[in-house]
Structure 1
Amino acid sequence: MSTSKLASFIVKFRFLLFALSLLFYAWGAIQLPKMVFDGDFTSMFPKDDPYLEELEKIDETYLQSRNLIILVQPPNKDMYSRESLELIQKITEEAWKLPYSIRVDSLTNYQHAEVDGDNFFVGNLINEPATLTKDALRKIESIIESDINIMGRLISDSGQVSVIIVSLALPDVGPMTLETLQTSTAASELLDAANDLRDIFVKQYPGVVIHFTGEPALEQGLLDVSISDMMTLSPAMSLVVIVLIWIFLRSLVAVISVLAVLSITQVIAFGIALQLGYYMNPVTVLAPMLIMVLAIADSVHILSQYIIHLREGKEKPQAMEAAIDKNFSPVLLTSITTGIGLLALNFGDSPYFADMGTISAIGVFVAFIITFTVIPTIALFIPMKLKREALFLTPLLLQLARWVVKNNKVIFWVSIVTSLTLISFIPATELNDDLDGLLDESVEVQKSVRFAHKHLGGFRYILYSFESGEPGGVNEPAYLHHIDSFANWLRQQPEVSSISSYIEILKSLNKAMHNNDSAYYTVPNNRMLAAQYMALYEMSLPVGSDLSQVINNNRSSLRITVNLNHADNKAIIALEQRAGDWMNIHMKELYATPTSGTLMFAHFSMNSIYGMIDGSLLALAFITIVLIVGLKSIRYGLLSIVPNLAPAAIVYGIWSMVLGEVNQAAAFTFCLSLGLIVDDTVHMLSKYLYAKREGKNTEDAIYYAFTSSGTALIVTTLALAAGMFLMTLSLYTPTGTMGMMMALIILTAILFDFIFLPTLLMRFDRQTEESKNIHEAEQTVEDSPSTELC
């Protein structure tokens, strides 16, 4: 069926098609209450991530707990004073009362071992802070500063900040429905109680600073950000759309039509996504806004062309049929190419971005259908009075087109030189990312993270679980010596702040048993003695304290925690590789695979970046093939590569020149941009080719492309750019980065299509026209009757 017949069919049966759209809209609305939010930190990683699998194995081997970290800076900023230690003791006691708390570790209840004659004692390092003498305080300070299990873990090196670690037994609630979120979650219940605790102590101790961090705080922060973005950014985008359409199209019908398309599209798209099992997360909550700006493009192209035909004097049904006829193929092409770009996000390792890409792709194809089933009904039903004059941008666009044609040679070469210069900065770009930079500085948990970085170097860590190969093997001296040597090597690495392990406890016990002689701060050389120390230590621990977090049940393996300074992903991966090399050389038989959320994020981020490079190239290839088929021209399909690829490359060059590095969000942006900026190229080329096939020369075809599609391209570009700039307000920083880069790419793309693409067409098509004219002239000479000279 030709597009003209299809247009007639759509206009003729518009009420039926509109009714079907409303039916699907109702179906989608029924699905919305099933919307589920997933705030689990591990959900941002692929299920087959080897580091995630290793982490799950460690969780099964040792007592699994999640920690709420309480950071305390006393008013006097001196943790070695009576008042400060008393404050820590009181907070420690109250922390036991927090929901889901199963253990609390702090400076005051740290289990310190001492030997007095034949008596062995393990107990709280500090019991009655208020009664401590100056000598006692100095002794405590000396013990703390000499114990590597305390320094950097429970107290900052400056002695100004203390750490209280609350181990939790949080229920595994999984993804949460809207109904669950409206009541309470385990994490929110915990943090509400923690905030109440903070309020109490802030009143009692004016000037005290208390922060909360840890996985529950981060997950709740991610969940809060998701809901905040969904509730604020989409309504703001709707307002922007209304304003832009009214300014440029000056039509209430256009505003109503577009809003109807956006509403119906979003509801149906999310109904489908929910049926397919997709969850909401900090990235997918932005899919509604992305669907909105993508759906605008289809609607505006139809409506602007419809208004143009009305102002030319056509009747409303004929004007709508003409608008559909001219735009159906270009809109179909842009929907397919945009869908390809969005689906290519699945090449990255991030389920968050992959889900957003898939949900948005669903929205793009729904928007394509809804545009042609809803707009004709509304536009033809509501009366619209228009003056018979061109859209106010049309004369300006014609002037621009003439200027470009007149100065095409200068514009072409200036564009080439400028573009290549900016793109040349890309090879110097560093690929990097930062786990601690996921949330905006205004988010409470992010403030806590920055505070921790400033005073303690942060709470990033790497876990190692070493198998001895036999029950009770953790007491084998050779095994212990190997791990101790590895821990000592790790302490010398610049990325490492401290090591937490049972071996340090064992060495302290050995030293205490030998009259605190420092020469005995080493691993016992007798397996039986090491086992006795372990048994003696465990029997002396108070209720709620044991070794199950660092040693497994049959005493065949132990876990060490490598606490890190603030380091970027590249540095963390480099440390992991150096540690692996060291183990292969010095303890190959005990080699252990490291894991942790920190390490998972580092690898996942870098893998996503490289994966998206492959995805982008594949998406570009598919988009080019689609354009070759859609435009029915290999020549113009290949020419489209330049305006499709150059804008993103230029912005990445500028980004590299200014910032020097890109993260995973920037990598996903490149792939996403391919699907969006093709819209401009497709409409310019399709209108240009339409005019050429109607017999116009190159210059006139360019003028036609500007005047017939220019207004719609400007409106959609501004709507897309405005939507992307709104995304920079997201409290999830990868989304903000993506929004900023996308806005810059979209604006660069429209400039490229208006300024450079016409000069590119003139260079190639003029040569073709000249060759054709020469060939026709030669053919005319050959076919003309010859005459003989007399």
Structure 2
Amino acid sequence: MGFKAWLVELSMQKPKQVFIGILLLVVLAAIQIPSIKVDTDPENMLPHDQADRVFHDEMKKQFSLYDMIVIGVVNTEHPEGVYNPKTLADLHQLSEAIQVMDGVIRQDLMALNTVDNISQSTEQPGTIRFEWMMKSAPETQVQAAQIKAAVERLPLLHNTLVSGDGQAAGIYVPIVAKAESYRLSNEIQQVIDQLKQNSPDSGNEFYMAGLPVAEDTFGVEMFIQMAISAPLAGLMIFVLMWVFFRSMLLITAPMLVAMGAVIITMGLLIGQGYTVHIMSSMIPIFLMPIAVVDSVHILSEFSDRYKPGEDPKQALKEVVGHLFTPMLYTSITSAVGFASLAFTPIPPVQIFGLHVAFGILLAFALTIVLVPAYIVSLSEKRLSALKDHSLETNDDGKLGRLLAGIGRFSVAKSKGLVVLFIVVSAISVYGVTTIQINDNPVRWFKEDHRLRVADKVMNTHFSGTYDAFLVLEQTQQEALKSDLKLTLEKLAPGNQQLVELWTTHQDLPLNEMLQKLAFALDDLAYDDADQEQLWLGMLDEVERAQSDSKYFLSPEGLSYLNGLEQYLNGSDLVGKSNSLVTLLKTVYRELQGGDAAQYRLPVTSDAAAQTILSFQSSHRPDDLWHMVTPDYRSTALWLQLKSGDNQDMSRVIALVDQYVQDNPLPEGVELNWAGLTYINVVWQEQMVSGMLNSLISAFFMVLLMMLILFRSIKIGLLAMLPLSVTILFIYGLIGFVGKDYDMPIAVLSALTLGLSVDFAIHFLERCRAIYRKTGSWPATVEEVYQGPARAISRNAVVVAVGFTPLLFAPLVPYITVGFFLAMIMAVSAVVTVVLLPAVINGISNKQALFSVNNDQKEKENA
């Protein structure tokens, strides 16, 4: 007894044990679900040890950078925009309320009431004064005008904290973790609602933007959507099967298989400790339609073969024996399509692909075990009722007549159809070449979503709400150490104390080493009067090295940084950049009298250091360390971008690359990128290349399986035809309609691969079996367009309709997946029932194609 026969026999002999066993598995999986952990952070698309992500995380720590929620208040009704007492009072009140919220980094919050006005001191010429820009809300329009004049003198704030048109002011809210952004945005919204209620006629409109709040909000709405879409998908399948079969008996078994597959798969994922990410949240709605297909095949054929009064077990053995191999291979090919996602370098996509693959194979196993157990547990009366809902005998219905007509048309016009599909494929290839790779988490929401609206409004007024950081580092620590060592050894050749001193400190980071050397040499000069001058001379050299090591206080380092910033600010791709040079030029201008002509960099390192020292007396001295490290060897340019699209960020990267090519980095200086907008580009590029590799590898794996299944190169290639045409058509359509190649589109490659070949397997397997029986191609076409073609069509509709609830989702990725999945099912079904017979009709030796000889034909007929 073969394995499949043993499995079916077991399920038929012990149906109760089968039900109990599956129920226990479902319960065990279900109790894992309450421990679900959610992760919607696109950063986690990259492994934790990925180089760009590691650098990004290090830079956040090094420069004390935090994810930010950006709040904007816009007033287009007042002649002075936001520069009026009421708007500034609301802004002040909102800022004060936000500062006391849990999860907000209060000391780094940027608003008009938390930043300094930098101006020249009127009491002591040559010194500057730092005072709060808006310590309290202005009471008169004159006071508001004074704030406007002060802001417009400060390049750090102009068009960042208040828009250039004066109609919008911002609050930049740094938060302890991205996962806090949704909660904080709701708390902030409550304050805003109260402000609007208190002053309904103020003309103020409030908006919230920023990648952190968009990503966290998407996570919350995603799970709300899945909680709605998954049950709706089940309901849609239930209703559709009722329309098709008009029998609760035919509906119950597939629905049990689908629910069992979904619950066990999700329970496995959660029980293993994996977080549910954007992709894995879609597992239920992917599995639900796919899981019912094999059950429908078995029940349909069983209802056709079974005759009331006969032993149902015998009919089941025949049905399962006939369908087991094509169902196994369709399940394996679908699973391979999803499992191919394991070849991508994106961990959440790997987890998604492998678990959907597991769910598909699980659905097959449940179908083979649960459906026979379900059937034999039915009473004879209920079994007889199945005959009234046979799918195979109703050839006079609209679908039967339509399919019969398609079969005759496909054969009669085979040459024209082949040419037509070749032309469509060629046009699709062109469409594929026009696809643009792009993504932006804010665009995951519909255009009328409050976050999408806020993004548009605020990026119209401000320099940009998307952040990227350009980090320059002077890395020649060892060279500086070596030069200093040679200098000191020249002053005291062979001095044992110097050798011991150097050996003790040489492995420390440069800045720390120089500090400790300076302290030690100062102590030696004090303790060793005989060699005081020697030690003091060495101390001078160490202090000189300390000064030289502060590269981004040197004229060379600041000049390069200044040139790069001016270049970026002159580009339409960058809204604005802020950096150490902006701060230095602003403070230096006030130290030199406040005239606009003095807005320039200090000419020496000492002057730059003195300018920095002056800034340290401000209310926010730590703002300096967001721009440069305390050793002045690393500096960060904060770029504000009006768009978070990957394409726009990539253009900015190319812009910087061009500048560096034309103006090579100073010796020993390295340039790298950080920031969420940049990280999104990195994972998107890795996903695209990974998806392409997985698609190619899975394509050849499926081809190999087709050759093994049919034991024929020709039929194996024929089975790949619907898959190939569907892939080309779907991605060509994506190119022609201008849909960006983003995360959900990338995942569709696995779906196309897995689902498109299923129909071809069933179609060709039945064609081969029928031709071997009849020996006639016209008779084969006539018979195959009765039961098999109708089953394929109905299964295509069931799967496609199962995804339709996604079309009504408020989140764009779900709409995209729902629409294109329906297209995949429609195209693959049409190609299968229209193109395959047309191609086969053009093959002259059909007996060789289907491997038929007279002896075999007589044996099969007998």
TM-score scaled by length of structure 2: 0.83
Alignment of 1:56-205 (within 5 A): 56-74=57-75, 76=77, 78-101=81-104, 102-103=106-107, 104-115=109-120, 116-118=122-124, 119-132=127-140, 134=142, 137-170=144-177, 186-205=180-199
- Equivalent residue, structure 1, for 2:675: 596
CA distance in 1, matches of 2:463, 2:346: 27
Alignment of 1:508-657 (within 5 A): 508-541=586-619, 546-566=623-643, 568-583=645-660, 585-589=663-667, 590-657=669-736
Larger Rg: 2
User: Which 10-residue stretch deviates more, 454-463 or 297-306?
Assistant: 454-463
- One-letter amino acid of the counterpart of residue 118, structure 2: A
- One-letter amino acid of the counterpart of residue 188, structure 2: A
CA distance in 2, matches of 1:454, 1:141: 20
User: Which 10-residue stretch deviates more, 530-539 or 153-162?
Assistant: 530-539
CA distance in 1, matches of 2:112, 2:461: 16
**From 226, 230, 251, the counterpart of 2:247:** 251
CA distance in 2, matches of 1:168, 1:325: 61
C-alpha displacement at 1:502, in angstroms? 2.7
Map Cα deviations across residues 635-675 of structure 1 (whole Å, 9 max, x no partner): 21111121111022112223322226433432321232110
- One-letter amino acid of the counterpart of residue 176, structure 2: A
Q: 1:22 to 1:533 in 2, by over 3 A?
A: same
- One-letter amino acid of the counterpart of residue 205, structure 1: S
C-alpha displacement at 1:632, in angstroms? 2.2
- One-letter amino acid of the counterpart of residue 477, structure 1: P
The secondary structure found in structure 2 opposite 1:507 is: helix
Q: 1:609 to 1:169 in 2, by over 3 A?
A: closer
CA distance in 1, matches of 2:94, 2:308: 77
CA distance in 1, matches of 2:571, 2:76: 34
- One-letter amino acid of the counterpart of residue 613, structure 2: A
Q: 1:603 to 1:65 in 2, by over 3 A?
A: closer
C-alpha displacement at 1:25, in angstroms? 1.9
Structure 1 position 675 matched with structure 2 position 676: no
C-alpha displacement at 1:246, in angstroms? 1.2
Instruction: Report if aligned partners of 2:468, 2:675 keep a CA contact under 8 Å in 1.
Output: yes
Structure 1 position 501 matched with structure 2 position 579: yes
User: Which 10-residue stretch deviates more, 614-623 or 46-55?
Assistant: 46-55
CA distance in 2, matches of 1:369, 1:154: 60
User: Which 10-residue stretch deviates more, 577-586 or 325-334?
Assistant: 577-586
- Equivalent residue, structure 1, for 2:319: 323
CA distance in 2, matches of 1:293, 1:478: 64
- Equivalent residue, structure 2, for 1:302: 298
Alignment of 1:329-408 (within 5 A): 329-382=325-378, 383-384=382-383, 385-387=385-387, 390-391=393-394, 392=397, 393-394=399-400, 396-408=402-414
C-alpha displacement at 1:602, in angstroms? 1.7
Instruction: Report if aligned partners of 1:75, 1:205 keep a CA contact under 8 Å in 2.
Output: no
C-alpha displacement at 1:468, in angstroms? 4.1
- One-letter amino acid of the counterpart of residue 175, structure 2: L
- One-letter amino acid of the counterpart of residue 767, structure 2: Y
- Equivalent residue, structure 2, for 1:31: 32
- Equivalent residue, structure 1, for 2:526: none
Structure 1 position 441 matched with structure 2 position 447: yes
CA distance in 2, matches of 1:74, 1:686: 69
Map Cα deviations across residues 100-154 of structure 1 (whole Å, 9 max, x no partner): 22232113433121122415311122345534554x6555434433433222211
CA distance in 2, matches of 1:708, 1:297: 15
TM-score scaled by length of structure 1: 0.90
Map Cα deviations across residues 314-352 of structure 1 (whole Å, 9 max, x no partner): 643233222211111111001110111101223334433
- One-letter amino acid of the counterpart of residue 316, structure 2: M
CA distance in 2, matches of 1:44, 1:732: 19
- One-letter amino acid of the counterpart of residue 248, structure 1: F
C-alpha displacement at 1:630, in angstroms? 1.4
- Equivalent residue, structure 1, for 2:55: 54
- One-letter amino acid of the counterpart of residue 558, structure 1: T
CA distance in 2, matches of 1:710, 1:772: 19
C-alpha displacement at 1:256, in angstroms? 1.0
User: Which 10-residue stretch deviates more, 382-391 or 738-747?
Assistant: 382-391
The secondary structure found in structure 2 opposite 1:462 is: strand
C-alpha displacement at 1:312, in angstroms? 9.3
The secondary structure found in structure 1 opposite 2:557 is: helix
Structure 1 position 454 matched with structure 2 position 532: no
CA distance in 1, matches of 2:3, 2:842: 32
Map Cα deviations across residues 225-267 of structure 1 (whole Å, 9 max, x no partner): 2211221000100101111111112221111111111121112
User: Which 10-residue stretch deviates more, 357-366 or 66-75?
Assistant: 66-75
Instruction: Report if aligned partners of 1:282, 1:732 keep a CA contact under 8 Å in 2.
Output: no
**What is the count of residue pairs matched by the alignment?**
760
CA distance in 1, matches of 2:841, 2:459: 57
Q: Alignment RMSD, CA only?
A: 2.8
Structure 1 position 702 matched with structure 2 position 768: no
CA distance in 1, matches of 2:19, 2:254: 14
- Equivalent residue, structure 2, for 1:490: 568
Alignment of 1:285-300 (within 5 A): 285-300=281-296
Map Cα deviations across residues 739-785 of structure 1 (whole Å, 9 max, x no partner): 22221121011111111111112222x43449999999xxxxxxxxx
Instruction: Report if aligned partners of 1:468, 1:479 keep a CA contact under 8 Å in 2.
Output: no
Q: 1:536 to 1:146 in 2, by over 3 A?
A: closer
Q: 1:269 to 1:548 in 2, by over 3 A?
A: same
Q: 1:652 to 1:479 in 2, by over 3 A?
A: same
The secondary structure found in structure 2 opposite 1:113 is: strand
- Percent same amino acid at aligned positions? 20
Map Cα deviations across residues 429-479 of structure 1 (whole Å, 9 max, x no partner): 333333431233354433322332333364122212333456444422322
